[in-house]
């Protein structure tokens, strides 16, 4: 759910201290980044594909109200029932009443970020409905009672031994920590859930306005099972997911996996148009789409930030972000981590103080903007968010800076700084920094100091001043 507990700094501190989590996240982002770069390097048309994707999403966002109207009408023609939800509570409420109407008590889900954003699982479980996440990574996270650490690979911080323990606890059997065996076990357990489920809940990677279709891209095939076996299918989509037509969808189908995992297409790319047709032996008898606003129309009305709605959730920006690589997904609190989360979460939840500080979680290196396949100027937006925060709460930031500076200046340590820094750059970084500012002890464990110059500026000044005088 989009409600970060505590502050970014606290969560980040914990995450940075967790060496295992850091190593796992680091491995993941490096790997995904390299896969994307290899695919892009071997595809001379990639710049053109990205340009088309950018245009498709720019058009989608610009024409959003019109496309949503068109989508709704096309759905009416093909038998899909469309619902609009203004916020999280309404979206969950609609799903609950649909499940009640269809007497559905057991639900299988395929990966959907918007349902995490609205806290759907908690809402359904409160009502006594059994919800099973069926994406392997999401299931692992669900069994662990945790939250995803990466958009594409949510459970990547779990080792195979962690997974073995979780599966053993869930099934009461003894398993081997071999990945193939663990996957085979998941196949059997989750297949039972699929065959018993009354309803399937999915997200929607995209919706197609002209045809009233929704598209699901998955690799495991759970998206297909969710939309094939249960008698009811409920698809959730953020209101910005819509594109104009099938040609626009084709562009997305090519660019999203290339940017996410370096794949040319995901293993399964399903275009769903209405419920099961006459004479069909499988597929849901009822298909509902819930279009979720939850703060999006406010973002759409804001010319400075509207473009963020182009996002296709590929995670390319996470995989190049130096901050994300250090702190991992949990630190961002909300559903959306990394640079996109740092922009989107405070925009969707402006009333949440802990969300607005996410804009500080960036070095403004612009790697995210460069990676983004749909041309969202992420680092510009971070600057705009900071500026806005500064304008709204000028004292907060200044007070903080001032307090740090004053405390340091008053301490006797200030005078010893140059000598200490020189010592630090000669290898004693850890000890020296700890001595200098005890609070930095934790901070410096994960950082290296640049080498200090042999002579201080203060020592050099008389000579420099003389040279400057001579030049005139």
Partner 1 sequence: MSTNASARAASTLAANSFREALLAVGGEVHLVHTAAEAQACLQAVLEEAHVRELVHHAAETLAPLQLSALAQQLQLTGPHGIGPQAHREHCARAGAGLTGAIAGIAATGTLVLAAAATTPRSTSLLPPLHVALLHSARIVPDIAAALLLFPAQALPSQIINITGPSRTGDIEHDLTTGVHGPARLVVILLHPESEHHP
The contact set with partner 1 (CB under 8 A) reads: 27-28, 31, 78, 134-137, 140, 153-156, 158-160, 163, 179-180, 182-184, 186-187, 190-191, 195, 210-211, 213, 219-222, 224-225, 227-229, 245-247, 249-251, 253-254, 261, 263-283
Distance CA 227, CA 225 (A): 5
The dihedrals phi and psi of 315, each to the nearest 5 degrees, come to 75, 10
Strand 199-202 with 81-85, pairing? unpaired
CB of 97 to partner 1, least distance (A): 25
| C-beta separation of 53 from 376 below 8 A | no
Window of 14-22, 38-46, 310-318, 444-452 that interacts with ligand SF4 by CB under 6 A: 310-318
CB of 385 to partner 1, least distance (A): 32
Q: Based on CB atoms, which residue is closest to ligand SF4, 296 or 313?
A: 313
CB of 45 to partner 1, least distance (A): 10
**Single residue of 32, 153, 291, 311 touching ligand SF4 by CB under 6 A:** 311
CB of 27 to partner 1, least distance (A): 7
- Told to check if 207 binds ligand SF4 by CB under 6 A, we report no
**Single residue of 153, 340, 342, 433 touching ligand SF4 by CB under 6 A:** 340
The 10 Å Cβ neighbour count of residue 343 is 30
The dihedrals phi and psi of 173, each to the nearest 5 degrees, come to -120, 170
Size of the site for ligand SF4 (CB under 6 A): 14
Q: Based on CB atoms, which residue is closest to ligand SF4, 88 or 314?
A: 314
For 389, the 3-state DSSP assignment is helix
18 binds, options partner 1, ligand SF4, none, Cβ within 5 to 8 A by partner type: none
314 binds, options partner 1, ligand SF4, none, Cβ within 5 to 8 A by partner type: ligand SF4
Distance CA 343, CA 379 (A): 9
Instruction: Walk across the sheet containing 81-85 and list its strands.
Output: 81-85, 286-292, 232-238, 199-202, 106-109, 130-133
Q: Based on CB atoms, which residue is closest to partner 1, 253 or 344?
A: 253
374 binds, options ligand SF4, partner 1, none, Cβ within 5 to 8 A by partner type: ligand SF4
Site string for ligand SF4, 399-438 (x = CB under 6 A): ----------------------------------------
Query: At CA 343, angle to CA 340 and CA 344, rounded to 5?
Result: 80
The 10 Å Cβ neighbour count of residue 222 is 25
The sign of the CA dihedral 370, 8, 113, 146 is positive
**Single residue of 372, 382, 385, 420 touching ligand SF4 by CB under 6 A:** 372
313 binds, options partner 1, ligand SF4, none, Cβ within 5 to 8 A by partner type: ligand SF4
Token pair for 271: 């275009």
**Single residue of 374, 382, 432, 433 touching ligand SF4 by CB under 6 A:** 374
Token pair for 258: 């290339």
| C-beta separation of 323 from 361 below 8 A | yes
Query: At CA 468, angle to CA 464 and CA 469, rounded to 5?
Result: 120
Cα–Cα nearest to 18, from 142, 159, 138 = 159
CB of 224 to partner 1, least distance (A): 5
| Element holding 289 (H helix, E strand) | strand 286-292
The 10 Å Cβ neighbour count of residue 86 is 12
**Single residue of 153, 290, 315, 432 touching ligand SF4 by CB under 6 A:** 315
Token pair for 304: 């400075």
Interface residue list for ligand SF4 (CB under 6 A): 311-317, 340, 371-374, 376, 378
């Amino acid at each position: 759910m989009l409600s970060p507990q505590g502050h970014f700094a606290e969560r980040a501190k914990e995450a940075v201290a967790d060496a295992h989590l850091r190593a796992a996240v680091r491995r993941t982002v490096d790997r995904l980044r390299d896969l994307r770069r290899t695919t892009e390097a071997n595809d001379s048309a990639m710049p053109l594909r990205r340009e088309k994707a950018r245009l498709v999403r720019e058009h989608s966002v610009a024409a959003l109200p019109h496309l949503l109207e068109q989508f709704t009408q096309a759905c009416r023609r093909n038998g899909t029932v469309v619902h609009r939800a203004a916020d999280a509570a309404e979206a969950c409420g609609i799903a609950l009443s649909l499940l009640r109407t269809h007497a559905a008590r057991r639900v299988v889900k395929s990966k959907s970020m918007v349902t995490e954003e609205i806290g759907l699982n908690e809402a359904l479980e409160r009502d006594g409905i059994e919800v099973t996440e069926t994406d392997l990574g999401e299931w692992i996270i669900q069994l662990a009672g945790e939250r995803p650490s990466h958009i594409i690979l949510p459970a990547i911080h779990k080792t195979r031994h962690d997974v073995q323990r979780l599966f053993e606890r869930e099934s009461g059997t003894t398993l081997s920590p071999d990945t193939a065996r663990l996957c085979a076990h998941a196949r059997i357990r989750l297949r039972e859930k699929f065959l018993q489920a009354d309803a399937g809940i999915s997200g929607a990677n995209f919706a197609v306005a002209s045809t009233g279709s929704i598209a699901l891209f998955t690799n495991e095939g759970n998206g297909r099972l969710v939309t094939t076996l249960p008698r009811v299918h409920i698809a959730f989509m953020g209101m910005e997911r819509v594109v104009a037509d099938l040609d626009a969808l084709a562009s997305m189908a090519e660019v999203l996996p290339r940017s996410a995992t370096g794949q040319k297409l995901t293993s399964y790319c399903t275009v769903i148009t209405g419920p099961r047709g006459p004479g069909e032996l499988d597929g849901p008898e009822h298909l509902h789409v819930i279009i979720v606003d939850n703060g999006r129309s406010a973002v759409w009305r804001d010319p400075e930030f509207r473009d963020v709605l182009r996002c296709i959730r590929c995670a390319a920006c996470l995989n190049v972000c130096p901050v994300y690589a250090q702190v991992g997904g949990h630190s961002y609190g909300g559903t959306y981590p990394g640079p996109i989360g740092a922009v989107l979460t405070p925009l969707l939840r402006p009333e949440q103080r802990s969300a607005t500080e996410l804009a500080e979680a960036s070095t403004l290196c612009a790697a995210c903007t460069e990676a983004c396949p749909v041309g969202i100027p992420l680092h510009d937006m971070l600057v705009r968010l900071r500026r806005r925060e500064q304008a709204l709460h000028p004292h907060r930031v200044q007070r903080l800076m001032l307090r740090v500076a004053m405390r340091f200046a008053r301490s006797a340590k200030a005078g010893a700084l140059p000598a200490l820094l020189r010592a630090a750059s000669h290898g004693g970084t850890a000890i020296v920094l700890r001595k200098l500012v005890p609070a930095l002890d934790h901070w410096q464990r994960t950082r290296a100091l640049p080498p200090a110059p042999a002579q201080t500026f203060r020592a050099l000044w008389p000579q420099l001043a003389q040279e400057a005088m001579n030049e005139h």
